[in-house]
Each structure stands twice: as structure tokens, then as C-alpha cells.
């Protein structure tokens, strides 16, 4: 099967401001892609383009279709959860479930109800009466009951406390992910998602600064805890990121032979968080 | 990708209309029920007053005489006035009775239909704006429902579904009015109670009123379409834009174009047809008189505005 999402030269301008500049990326079936960048980097704009919620220049296809035309057809196979507060506040929970059941061909009422049974959400409650965490739980329960090919999560845990954030991603992995559905998660909180991802997309100032499968991370990037006396030799190999750690130097290298590095200290696979910081700092310098 | 059967459009449309009724149950359901209950309460109160305090209660009656004598005002005893009206009614010819009752039916419903006009206007004005304001548009757009379908559901809900509920309330009001009047009339010594029911062409009057509503929808479609378009277009205060547009056009028209054609057109196509005397009360005659080049141009403008609303909705985002 071909890519679920394919973007080439994706560009979005708001007047003089360029929110996205010539962005290329693709999402393979079954991938969990982290679209990671600081606030204002262009994450939401990218996702809105994918969902057919905004106009753009360049080429973009979602399951072979241009999202600017026929959004409603694409939405039979795509689900979307944004940060809290997009569920209609006037609705009651059972009205929401009835609605989705009657307009969405892939919704399973039983599944939604069994997911909700595990929460404190009552079906007679009005959405405006639920806490932020409960609204997100509800939205996720509805979305998880829809059998789609692509799930788009735009900062889904923004504004939630740590308990809800943790349970959100636990549910996502345990109850939802089936290796067939692709997921795009945008976030600026890297540490929350790094264990889930199969693919990394870092975005900054409207440009993709890293496009890397997770399993290629260890191949391309190496973290080195430099042995005393080897700092100079290590610096010659051109680290992309250097920081001090308990009196020692820690350096990150891109595309440098691990054999050459192993003689200079202790080597490790860098964390996504460190890689993110390294890439963002590089962008600024 | 497993293919599933798509939901059928009529079923989805029915669901969207239900959604509108759920969201707007205040103005679509409770307001007409409240008005009906209030009118019924007033009616019961008046009839009880007639029967239990007939000699003591006085009212001021203003009569606009059709024979050219002009407006007269007098203070009468309520019970006596009621009896006088019933007697006059009993003495009327059958056709006069029928038109008299039709007039009463229309008059009794007028509070309902005046509020309906306001409800439709404000409903349409918010229909494609409110969900952008509260960001729930992101949820609605994540459902496999086309934008054209969404816009159509808003028009149908405002112009057909809401009026239907008001009509049902108005029908209930008429039936109660007739029942209560004929019960009250039983206590008088002349036969009028049966005459009331025989003379009332209740169903016919309902159909005429519904027919006139549909004619009004067609006639005022540019007005409704403008509200819908504004709702899709405005980034803030749609009411201000909805008013400013026609006022600006009317202003330019008043000073620059001889004859004030556009201004008059705007006013004509914004007011319900029921108040246009020249159309008469006969549905067929009225529809025939309505057909004109002007109407075709108006419908073309309305179609343009509705198409514009769909286009804007397609690109719409939270605000």
C-alpha cells in the first residue's frame, strides 16, 4: 500500500507571514509519526492542511485524495482530536454518540460505550459540565470507536494534568493502536510521546528540520559521554550539540562512525528530547 | 482500506436537522410552546372572567370601522361585549363567518409568527458563525459530512423545520381557542356553539397559512441567504455586518441611483408576505401574482449567496 499522507512543497502563507515553507514528508501505513516543534513552528497549520481545513500551495494527498476537495470523503477514514474544547459544549454525551453513530459509517457504538464505562463520564452529562480531562477522554473514546486509517492528534493533552496525560497515551497505545492505523501526533512536549513514535518529524519556523524513522536514530545519531582528556579529540569530530553533565562533557554526533567515537568515551543512543533540543538550537544559531 | 457502506444522504440530513433542533431547542421548541401556553392562559383567564365577573369587568374597545366611519373607542362591559360579538357572529352569512374565523385564526397566531420571523433571522445569522467562534467547527468538520450538506441543513432547519414546530403550536392554539369559545357559547340562549365549528375551515386555514409561509420563504430567500452568507463570512459580530451591508447598499442607492430600486427591493424581500395586501388571501392567486422577472432575479441572487456560504464554509476555520 502507498503512503497514507504525502506532502511535496507544501507551503502556506498568511499575508506576508509564511507558516509553512516547502515542506516535504510522508506517512506510511501503520506509522506513528511525531510532528514535533516549538509553539508557532507550523504544526497545527500542517495538520489543518492534511484535514482539509485550510488552503495551501504545493502538493498534498491524503489517501490519494486532495484534502481541499472532498474533505467529507477523507473524513470517513481519518479521525481528528485537537486540544480540549472542540466538542460542542451544548451537547449531551448520549447526543454526541447518537450523532456520530448516525453520520459516521465506521463508528461502533458498543466500543464507545464500553470505553466510556471505564470512566466517570455519564452519558446524560452535558459536555460543558465535564472537566477538561473528561472532555479529552470522551473525545478519545469516540475517536477510538471509529475504525479509521489515520488518526490525527493536535496537541491532544494540552492543558491536562499529568494523570490524564499519562492515561491518554496509555489508552492510545493499549486500546487503539493496531499496527494498521497510522497516527500523527503533534506536540511540543517531546518526552511525553517519544516512547510511542515510529517516526520523527521535527518542524521549526515552517520548515522540516528532521525527518527520521525511529529505528534509524541509533544509526545516524550518537551520544557520547566524553572520557576525561578526550574532549579536544571529540570536538574535532564536529558534535552537533554539547552540554555539561556533572563536570563531564556530553556531545551528540550526526553521521559519525560509532567505532571512532567508542574510543573517546561511553556511547549511547540519544533521547528524542536531546535530539530535539540539539536540532532546535542548531536552527537558531 | 476496508470499504464500508456510506451513510445515505437523507438519513444524514435527517440527523443534521435533529442536531439543529437539539442545539436550538430553546428557540425552536420552548419559545413557541411558551408563547402558546401564555396565549392559552390569557384566553382561559378572559373566558373565566366573562363567566364569573361578567358585569363588573370593563374593557376599552377600539374599532377600526370598515365602513369609513373611522376609529371609535368605547368602554364596555366585558361579558356584554362577548355576547354581542357572539350574536353578531351568529347573524352573519356562512361565508362571512368563515372569513371572520380565518381572520381570528391568523390574529391569534400572529405573536407566534412574528417571533418565528425573529427566530429564523437570528438562527441563520448564527448558524455558520457560532461553531467557528466556539471552535466546535473542528469537530463538525472531522465528521464525514459535506459542507454543502451542512449549509443545506441550516437552511432547511431555519426555513422548514422551525416553522413546522411553530405551525403545530399555532394549530394547537386554534383548536383550544375554538373549543373554549364553543364551550363558552353554550351558556348563551342562542345557537352559536355548533355554528362556530361548522364555519371554521380550520384545516383549510392551516394549509393557507403554511402555503403563505412557503411563498414567504421563496420571496424572502435573498434575505435569508444574505443572513446565511454573513454568518459564514463574518469574523466577528455577524449582526453588524448583516445590517451594515444592506444599509450601505441602500444608502448608495438612495443618493446615486434614481428611483431607489435596490433599496425598495431590499425592504420588500425582507418582510414576510403575509402583510402584503395586494396578494390577497388566496394561495393560488398569490403564487401566480408573485411570479415575475423580479422574483427570478431575486432567486438568482439568493442562489449566489447560498453558493458563497458553501464556498466560505469549505475554507472555514476556528476564529
Give the model confidence (pLDDT) of B248-258 as tens digits: 888 888 888 77
Nearest-CA residue of chain A relative to B132?
Answer: A86
- C-alpha B78: how far from its chain's center? 31
* For residue B2, pLDDT beyond 50: no
* For residue B159, pLDDT beyond 60: yes
| Residue A225 parent element (H or E) | strand A221-226
* CA angle B115–B121–B127, rounded 5-degree value: 125
pLDDT tier at B68, thresholds 50, 70, 90: low
Q: Which residue has the higher pLDDT, B83 or B240?
A: B240
**How many residues appear in chain A?**
285
Mean pLDDT for all residues in chain B: 85
Q: Looking at the complex, does the CB of residue A149 fall below 8 Å from at least one CB of chain B?
A: yes
- Of B313, B317, B267, B274, the C-alpha closest to B147 is B313
| Residue B89 parent element (H or E) | helix B78-91
| Residue A60 parent element (H or E) | strand A57-62
Contacts of B13 in chain A (CB under 8 A): none
* For residue B79, pLDDT beyond 80: no
Cα dihedral B110→B114→B116→B120 (10° resolution): 160
Contacts of A83 in chain B (CB under 8 A): none
Q: Which residue has the higher pLDDT, B81 or B146?
A: B146
Q: What is the pLDDT of residue A172?
A: 79
Spatial distance between the Cα atoms of B121 and B118, rounded to a whole number of angstroms: 5
Q: What is the pLDDT of residue A9?
A: 93
Beta carbons within 10 angstroms of residue B205's beta carbon? 21
Contacts of A53 in chain B (CB under 8 A): 138, 141, 317
Q: Is A73 exposed, middle or buried (0-12, 13-18, 19+ CB in 10 A)?
A: middle
CB A113 within 8 A of CB A175: no
Q: What is the pLDDT of residue A83?
A: 74
Percent of chain B with pLDDT over 70: 90
Q: Looking at the complex, does the CB of residue B4 fall below 8 Å from at least one CB of chain A?
A: yes
Contacts of B22 in chain A (CB under 8 A): 90-91, 95
Spatial distance between the Cα atoms of A201 and A213, rounded to a whole number of angstroms: 9
Spatial distance between the Cα atoms of B282 and A181, rounded to a whole number of angstroms: 62
CB B46 within 8 A of CB B176: no
Q: Looking at the complex, does the CB of residue B21 fall below 8 Å from at least one CB of chain A?
A: no
Q: Looking at the complex, does the CB of residue A182 fall below 8 Å from at least one CB of chain B?
A: no
* A14, A71, A142: best to mutate for the B interface, most B CBs within 10 A: A71
Residue in B7, B23, B134 nearest the CB of A103:
B7
User: Which residues of chain A from 68 to 97 reach within 8 Å of chain B, CB to CB?
Assistant: 71-73, 75-80, 82, 85-91, 95
* A79, A102, A156: best to mutate for the B interface, most B CBs within 10 A: A102
Q: How many Å lie between the alpha carbon of A272 and the closest alpha carbon of chain B?
A: 30
Q: Which residue has the higher pLDDT, A58 or B190?
A: A58
Q: What is the pLDDT of residue B1?
A: 44
CB B188 within 8 A of CB B194: no
Nearest-Å Rg of the Cα atoms of chain B is 24
Spatial distance between the Cα atoms of A118 and A135, rounded to a whole number of angstroms: 14
Question: What is this model's ipTM?
Answer: 0.87
Q: Do B314 and A102 touch (CB under 8 A)?
A: no
* For residue B60, pLDDT beyond 70: yes
* For residue B223, pLDDT beyond 60: yes
What separation in angstroms does the CA of B144 have from each of A76, A78, A107, B16, B141?
Answer: 5, 9, 11, 12, 7
Q: What is the pLDDT of residue A69?
A: 85
Give the tens place of pLDDT for each residue, A201-253: 999 999 999 999 999 998 899 999 988 888 888 888 889 999 888 888 899 99
Contacts of A105 in chain B (CB under 8 A): 4-7, 144
DSSP state of B54: T
* CA angle B206–B210–B216, rounded 5-degree value: 145
Q: Is A28 exposed, middle or buried (0-12, 13-18, 19+ CB in 10 A)?
A: middle
* For residue B148, pLDDT beyond 90: yes
Q: Looking at the complex, does the CB of residue A65 fall below 8 Å from at least one CB of chain B?
A: no
Cα dihedral A246→A247→A248→A251 (10° resolution): 80
| Low-confidence stretches of chain A (pLDDT beneath 50) | none
Q: How many Å lie between the alpha carbon of B318 and the closest alpha carbon of chain A?
A: 9
- Of B161, B76, B174, B171, the C-alpha closest to B127 is B161
Q: Looking at the complex, does the CB of residue B98 fall below 8 Å from at least one CB of chain A?
A: no
Q: What is the pLDDT of residue A260?
A: 85
* For residue B66, pLDDT beyond 70: no
Q: What is the pLDDT of residue A1?
A: 52
Beta carbons within 10 angstroms of residue A164's beta carbon? 18
Nearest-CA residue of chain B relative to A51?
Answer: B142
CB B56 within 8 A of CB B68: no
Q: Which residue has the higher pLDDT, B195 or B152?
A: B152
Q: Do A86 and B5 touch (CB under 8 A)?
A: no
Q: What is the pLDDT of residue B259?
A: 75
How, if at all, do strands A32-36 and A182-187 pair? parallel
Percent of chain B with pLDDT over 90: 42
Contacts of A73 in chain B (CB under 8 A): 144
Beta carbons within 10 angstroms of residue A144's beta carbon? 22
| Residue B243 parent element (H or E) | helix B238-256
Q: How many Å lie between the alpha carbon of B17 and the closest alpha carbon of chain A?
A: 11
Query: What residues pair up with A285 in beta bridges, in sequence order?
Result: none
- Of A153, A174, A164, the C-alpha closest to A120 is A164
Q: Looking at the complex, does the CB of residue A255 fall below 8 Å from at least one CB of chain B?
A: no
Region B106-130 average pLDDT: 93
Q: Do B144 and A55 touch (CB under 8 A)?
A: no
Query: B236 is written with which cell numbers?
Result: 466577528
Spatial distance between the Cα atoms of B7 and A266, rounded to a whole number of angstroms: 59
- Of A28, A74, A77, the C-alpha closest to A197 is A28
Residue in A91, A105, A139 nearest the CB of B5:
A105
Residue in B2, B141, B317 nearest the CB of A71:
B141
Q: Looking at the complex, does the CB of residue B179 fall below 8 Å from at least one CB of chain A?
A: no
CA pseudo-torsion sign A22, A23, A24, A26? negative
Q: How many Å lie between the alpha carbon of A98 and the closest alpha carbon of chain B?
A: 9
* For residue B155, pLDDT beyond 90: yes
Spatial distance between the Cα atoms of A273 and A36, rounded to a whole number of angstroms: 10
Note the pTM of the prediction, 2 decimals.
0.87
Q: Looking at the complex, does the CB of residue B12 fall below 8 Å from at least one CB of chain A?
A: yes
Q: Do A55 and B315 touch (CB under 8 A)?
A: yes
Q: Looking at the complex, does the CB of residue A53 fall below 8 Å from at least one CB of chain B?
A: yes
- Of A86, A29, A76, the C-alpha closest to A51 is A76
Q: Is B3 exposed, middle or buried (0-12, 13-18, 19+ CB in 10 A)?
A: exposed
CA pseudo-torsion sign B29, B124, B134, A105? positive
Residue in B23, B139, B144 nearest the CB of A86:
B139
Q: Looking at the complex, does the CB of residue B146 fall below 8 Å from at least one CB of chain A?
A: yes
Amino acid at each position: 500500500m502507498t503512503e497514507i499522507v504525502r506532502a511535496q512543497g507544501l507551503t502556506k502563507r498568511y499575508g506576508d507571514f509564511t507558516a509553512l515553507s516547502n515542506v516535504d514528508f510522508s506517512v506510511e501505513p501503520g506509522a506513528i509519526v511525531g510532528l514535533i516543534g516549538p509553539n508557532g513552528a507550523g504544526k497545527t497549520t500542517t495538520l489543518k492542511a492534511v484535514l482539509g481545513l485550510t488552503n495551501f500551495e504545493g502538493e498534498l494527498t491524503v489517501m490519494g485524495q486532495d484534502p481541499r476537495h472532498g474533505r467529507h470523503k477523507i473524513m470517513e477514514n481519518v479521525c481528528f482530536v485537537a486540544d480540549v474544547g472542540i466538542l460542542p459544549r451544548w451537547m449531551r454525551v448520549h447526543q454526541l454518540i447518537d450523532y456520530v453513530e448516525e453520520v459516521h459509517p465506521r463508528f461502533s457504538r458498543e466500543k464507545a460505550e464500553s470505553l466510556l464505562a471505564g470512566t466517570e463520564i455519564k452519558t446524560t452529562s452535558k459536555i460543558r459540565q465535564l472537566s477538561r480531562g473528561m472532555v479529552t477522554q470522551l473525545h478519545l473514546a469516540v475517536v477510538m470507536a471509529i475504525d479509521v486509517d489515520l488518526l490525527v492528534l493536535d496537541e491532544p493533552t494540552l492543558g491536562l494534568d499529568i494523570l490524564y496525560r499519562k492515561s491518554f497515551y496509555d489508552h492510545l497505545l493499549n486500546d487503539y493502536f493496531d499496527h494498521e492505523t497510522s497516527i500523527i501526533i503533534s506536540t511540543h512536549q517531546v518526552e511525553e510521546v517519544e516512547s510511542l513514535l515510529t517516526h520523527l518529524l521535527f518542524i521549526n519556523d515552517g520548515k522540516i528540520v528532521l525527518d527520521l524513522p525511529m529505528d534509524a536514530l541509533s544509526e545516524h545519531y550518537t551520544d557520547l559521554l566524553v572520557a576525561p582528556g578526550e574532549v579536544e579529540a571529540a570536538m574535532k569530530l564536529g558534535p552537533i550539540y554539547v552540554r555539561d553533565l556533572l563536570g563531564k562533557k556530553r556531545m551528540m554526533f550526526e553521521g559519525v562512525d560509532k567505532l571512532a567515537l567508542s574510543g573517546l568515551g561511553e556511547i549511547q543512543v540519544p533521547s528524542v528530547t536531546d535530539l530535539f533540543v540539539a536540532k532546535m538550537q542548531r536552527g537558531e544559531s | 482500506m476496508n470499504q464500508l457502506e456510506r451513510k445515505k444522504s437523507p438519513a444524514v440530513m435527517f440527523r443534521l436537522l435533529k442536531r439543529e433542533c437539539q442545539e436550538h431547542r430553546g428557540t425552536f421548541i420552548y419559545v413557541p410552546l411558551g408563547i402558546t401556553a401564555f396565549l392559552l392562559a390569557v384566553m382561559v383567564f378572559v373566558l373565566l372572567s366573562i363567566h364569573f365577573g361578567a358585569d363588573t369587568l370593563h374593557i376599552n374597545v377600539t374599532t377600526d370601522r370598515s365602513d369609513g366611519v373611522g376609529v371609535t373607542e368605547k368602554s364596555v362591559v366585558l361579558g356584554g361585549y362577548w355576547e354581542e360579538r357572539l350574536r353578531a357572529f351568529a347573524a352573519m352569512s356562512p361565508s362571512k363567518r368563515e372569513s371572520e374565523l380565518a381572520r381570528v385564526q391568523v390574529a391569534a397566531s400572529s405573536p407566534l409568527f412574528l417571533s418565528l420571523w425573529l427566530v429564523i433571522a437570528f438562527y441563520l445569522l448564527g448558524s455558520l458563525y457560532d461553531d467557528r467562534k466556539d471552535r466546535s467547527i473542528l469537530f463538525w468538520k472531522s465528521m464525514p459530512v459535506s459542507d454543502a450538506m451542512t449549509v443545506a441543513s441550516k437552511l432547511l432547519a431555519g426555513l422548514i423545520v422551525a416553522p413546522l414546530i411553530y405551525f403545530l403550536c399555532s394549530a394547537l392554539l386554534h383548536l383550544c381557542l375554538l373549543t373554549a369559545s364553543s364551550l363558552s357559547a353554550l351558556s348563551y340562549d342562542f345557537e352559536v356553539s355548533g355554528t362556530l365549528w361548522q364555519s371554521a375551515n380550520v384545516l383549510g386555514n392551516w394549509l393557507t397559512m403554511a402555503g403563505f409561509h412557503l411563498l414567504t420563504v421563496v420571496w424572502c430567500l435573498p434575505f435569508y441567504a444574505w443572513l446565511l452568507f454573513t454568518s459564514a463570512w463574518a469574523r466577528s459580530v455577524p449582526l453588524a455586518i448583516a445590517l451594515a451591508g444592506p444599509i450601505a447598499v441602500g444608502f448608495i442607492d438612495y443618493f446615486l441611483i434614481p428611483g431607489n430600486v435596490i433599496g425598495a427591493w431590499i425592504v420588500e424581500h425582507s418582510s414576510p408576505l403575509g402583510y402584503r395586501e395586494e396578494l390577497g388571501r388566496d394561495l393560488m392567486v398569490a403564487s401566480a401574482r408573485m411570479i415575475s422577472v423580479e422574483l427570478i432575479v431575486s432567486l438568482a441572487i439568493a442562489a449566489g449567496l447560498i453558493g458563497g456560504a458553501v464556498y466560505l464554509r469549505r475554507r472555514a476555520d476556528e476564529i
